[in-house]
Structure 1
Amino acid sequence: MTRRLNALVIGNAAYEDVDALKNPVNDAEDVGRKLETCGFSVIQEMDSSHADMDRALKRFQRVLKDSDVGLFFFAGHGMQIDGENYLAAVDTDATDEITAKHSSLALNRVIEVMEKSGCSTGIIILDACRNNPFERAWTRSIKVRGLAPVYAPRGTLIAYATSPGQTASDGKGRNGTYTAALLQHLTTPDCSIEAMFKRVRNTLSATTKGRQISWEHTSLAGEFFFNLSLGLRIDLYSETALSDSLFVLDDRKASHRVIRELKSSTWPRQNPAVDDFTPEMANKAAADSLFVVGRNLYQAACGGSRSASAYLADFASRTNGINEPKRKAILDGMLFEVFFDPNARLRKTFKLRKLEPLFSLQRHKDLLPSFDFIAECLLPDVAQFHALPGKRHEIAVDVVTYPAAKADQHVVESMHCGGESILWLEDEDYAPEPGEPPLLEQLTLRAFEAQLSEQMVLPSHLLKVNYLSFEKQGRERLWFPLGYTARKR
């Protein structure tokens, strides 16, 4: 089940005419990251001028045309003028109410953009209910406080950090009090959006001792979940196939007999079973059975089965003649086995022994839907990877070395990816004594790049290694610090 999710997230803190706020930029950054783990494509704007906010909303409007769900999040100053709500830009001109209106983003405009986009679900979250600091410069007293309630069109939920007419305060830590509660509950698995906001309200009330009560106005027509568990997100296969420890074998089915032999963990039983697994047999099997066959084929290949390894290496040819959905089910199962255990939970240690031949299949255009499948499965856990497996993005790693004693030998000093240092001590047993250099092991460039590929969970065709201190010839040797890794922390 692929959901098209897009979000616009704005955090304004560095206001020009009033005191700066502490939390909104952090709030927007953290909410944006959370939304990405839920599958949202996120447009982020920090400390935005009125022109920046206008451009961002127009960009958001364009992407919403192809979206199922649109979400708008704003943290910063908001104000109610003549019964309507406005979200202040960092350069909002608050000389008077009229000027403030026209140099801020009208909330009604955001609502209209989402209403007319065609999205089935629109979500607006506002951590913008602070005291209006601009009214001090205005010629008349504004007695209303906070934001005004607004009409929520069908299919829309509007969430406020506090009840209409009330105000909220900045938080004491990294995030505002409301956003901190939101971050705590946003990715709760299988929790509907209404139930999630009830949890936020409870946490916020407890944190503020009842002084701040969040509020939502909803006219949602259906249910929405930020974080669906694997069994609910992936509707191609049953729960017993995803959690194949629950899969019940029926030896009257040929595909189930293959699964039983593959599970035996003995090559004399595994190899004949793989050799007997023909396209004719596959075409008669159900998708769930083929998914479990794929899981166990990959497991057998990692365990050293000659026939399973050959099947994997020659997958495109060996599966020629299998109907496309059933061929996909086998490859889906293989990819799933790399990352998920028999209970459909993400493995603590991935099965990477056959990652290279498996992911080399990504070069076959007709097999790409399986890689989209595994990327969707892993999306909630994207923070555990340098790049989401299944996506076809090349990743560059810069390796800094210094010369060793012998020619063509170099000592790895640091490695960098995405602007960050990625080399770190994983095994404390290898920690050097104070003032001593780390222990080193010698690797060929080929062995080093294979090790790096495994640690970063990236196939070699998507990993580009740049050696900054020497020009690669191929005969060089690298001294790599023992106990260190490029695995994602």
Structure 2
Amino acid sequence: MSRRLNALVIGNAAYEAVDALKNPVNDAGDVGAKLESCGFTVIRCLDSDHAGMDRTLKKFQRVLKDSDVGLFFFAGHGMQIDGENYLAAVDTDATDEITAKHSSLPLNRVIEVMEKSGCSTSIVVLDACRNNPFERAWTRAIESRGLAPVYAPRGTLIAYATSPGQTASDGRGRNGAYTAALLTHLATPDCSIETMFKRVRNTLSAATKGKQISWEHTSLAGEFFFNLSLGLRIDLYAETSLSDGLFVLDEAKASHRLIRELKSLTWPRQNPAVDGFTAEVANRASLDALFVVGRNLYQAACGGSHSALGYLRDFASRSSGIKEPKRKALLDGMLFEAFFDANGKLRKEFKLRQFEPLFALQRHKELAPSFDFIAECLLPEAARFYSIPGKRHEVAIDVATRPSAKTGHHHVLETVHCDGASVLWLEDEDYAPEPGEKPRMETLDLDEFEQQLSEQMLVPPHLLKINYASFKPNGRETIAFPRGWTARKR
């Protein structure tokens, strides 16, 4: 159940015409990070002038064309003029109401962009109900306080930090009171958006002793969850397959007997069981059983079963007689086992002993749906990866070394750069050298070095593009890699 989620978050604090605000940049940054943890692709716009807000909204408009869900978040000054709402840029000209309107972002424009995008769900969240500081410069007083209620088109939810016509003060801590409450509940697993905002309202009321009551206007046509648990996101397999510790074996079924033998963790039982696993046996099995077979096949391969390892390495041909989607279920299970434990929870340490042969299968176009499956499973954890495993995205790195005094082919690793930053860091403090001592080194040939980087960065070798800045490789080089250091994503 793949969801295409895109968000635009804007936080304006460094206002030129009035006092700066304390929280909005933090609010936007923190909400953006929380949305990314829920699978959103986030466009950030911080302390932006009017022209910058306009450009960013147009960029958001373009990505919404290929989106199922669009979300707009704004923290900063908002104002109501002649019954309509405007979101102030840092350079909003507040000489008078007319100038203020034309140097701010109209909320109605945002809503119209989202309405006409084709998204099935549009969400607008506004932490912008602070007192209007601009009206002091205007020629007449503005009686309306806060933001005005607006029409929510079908499929839209608009959330305000306060009830219509009321105001909220800038927060005292890192976040405004409303955003702090939002961050508390936004990523709650399997909580519908309506329930989530009710919880936000309750937390906000408690934090402000009832002085600030959030409010939503909704015309959503269906349910939306920011954070679906794995069992709800992945609807191809039963919960007992995703959490295969709960899978009940039936000895009358050949596939179940295979699972039993694979779970024995002994090669004399595993090897003959794998050797007897034919396409005929697979085609009689259910998708859930084959998913669990795949999990245990990969486990056996990582445990050293030569038959399981042979099946993995020769999967494309060994499984060619298995019908789709049963073949897919088998590979889905193998990929799932690498990242998820017996309870269906993401592993703290991924099972990577056979990472290279497993992800080498990605080169077979007919197996692509399984890699799309694991990418979807891992999407909420995108921050843990340079590129989500399963996605066919190349990752380019630059490796800098210095020549060793040993031979002309021996080099000492200095840095590994990715996305403009060094990604090599000391993971195991026990290997930190004493003052005045040199780090302990492990000598690797070029293939071993590249395989180690591939596994640490969780990028298959065929997608990891390495540029050696200090030498032109000829295959005879060795590289001294500091022990305890890694290029793993922090």
**Does TM, scored on the shorter chain, surpass 0.5?**
yes
Identity of aligned residues (%): 80
Say whether 1:419 aligns with 2:438. Answer: no
Rounded Cα–Cα distance in structure 1 between residues aligned with 2:387 and 2:154: 37
Q: Which residue of 1 aligns with 2:56?
A: 56
Rounded Cα–Cα distance in structure 1 between residues aligned with 2:443 and 2:305: 30
Rounded Cα–Cα distance in structure 2 between residues aligned with 1:349 and 1:34: 23
Q: Report matched runs for 1:291-370 at 5 Å.
A: 291-370=291-370
Q: Which residue of 1 aligns with 2:454?
A: 453
Higher mean C-alpha deviation, range 384-393 or range 431-440: 431-440
What's the CA shift string for 1:163-214, capped at 9, x where partnerless? Answer: 2222223333433332222222211111111221222223323333333322
Rounded Cα–Cα distance in structure 1 between residues aligned with 2:141 and 2:366: 67
Q: Which residue of 2 aligns with 1:254?
A: 254
Aligned AA for 1:342? A
Rounded Cα–Cα distance in structure 1 between residues aligned with 2:469 and 2:204: 50
Name stretches of at least 5 consecutive residues in structure 1 with no aligned partner: none
Aligned AA for 1:291? F
Normalised by the length of structure 1, the TM-score is: 0.95
Q: Which residue of 2 aligns with 1:442?
A: 443
Deviation at 1:115, TM superposition (A): 2.7
Q: RMSD of the TM alignment (CA)?
A: 1.8
Aligned AA for 2:73? F
Deviation at 1:240, TM superposition (A): 0.4
Rounded Cα–Cα distance in structure 2 between residues aligned with 1:131 and 1:474: 67
Higher mean C-alpha deviation, range 376-385 or range 197-206: 197-206
Aligned AA for 1:27? D
Aligned AA for 2:287? A
Q: Which residue of 1 aligns with 2:149?
A: 149
Aligned AA for 1:346? L
Q: Which residue of 2 aligns with 1:176?
A: 176
Deviation at 1:229, TM superposition (A): 0.4
Rounded Cα–Cα distance in structure 1 between residues aligned with 2:386 and 2:119: 31
Aligned AA for 2:358? L
Equivalent residue of 2:320, what SS? coil
Q: Which residue of 1 aligns with 2:17?
A: 17
Normalised by the length of structure 2, the TM-score is: 0.95
Deviation at 1:327, TM superposition (A): 0.8
Q: Which residue of 2 aligns with 1:410?
A: 411
Q: Which residue of 2 aligns with 1:428?
A: 429
Deviation at 1:472, TM superposition (A): 2.4
What's the CA shift string for 1:45-85, capped at 9, x where partnerless? Answer: 23333333333333333433433222111112110111111
Deviation at 1:90, TM superposition (A): 2.5
Q: Report matched runs for 1:75-474 at 5 Å.
A: 75-407=75-407, 408-474=409-475
Question: What count of residue pairs does the alignment treat as equivalent?
Answer: 489
Deviation at 1:29, TM superposition (A): 2.5
Aligned AA for 2:473? K
- The answer to whether the 8 A contact 2:87-2:106 is kept is yes
Equivalent residue of 1:44, what SS? strand
Rounded Cα–Cα distance in structure 2 between residues aligned with 1:219 and 1:83: 21
Aligned AA for 2:337? E
Rounded Cα–Cα distance in structure 2 between residues aligned with 1:422 and 1:173: 32
Q: Measured at CA, do residues 396 and 64 of structure 1 come closer, stay the same or move farther in structure 2, by a change above 3 Å?
A: closer
Rounded Cα–Cα distance in structure 1 between residues aligned with 2:443 and 2:299: 31
Higher mean C-alpha deviation, range 49-58 or range 438-447: 49-58
Deviation at 1:329, TM superposition (A): 0.5
Deviation at 1:334, TM superposition (A): 0.3
Rounded Cα–Cα distance in structure 1 between residues aligned with 2:306 and 2:312: 10
Q: Which residue of 1 aligns with 2:30?
A: 30
What's the CA shift string for 1:277-335, capped at 9, x where partnerless? Answer: 11222122111011011101111111111111111111111111222211110110000
Equivalent residue of 1:324, what SS? coil
Q: Measured at CA, do residues 285 and 21 of structure 1 come closer, stay the same or move farther in structure 2, by a change above 3 Å?
A: same
- The answer to whether the 8 A contact 2:402-2:412 is kept is yes
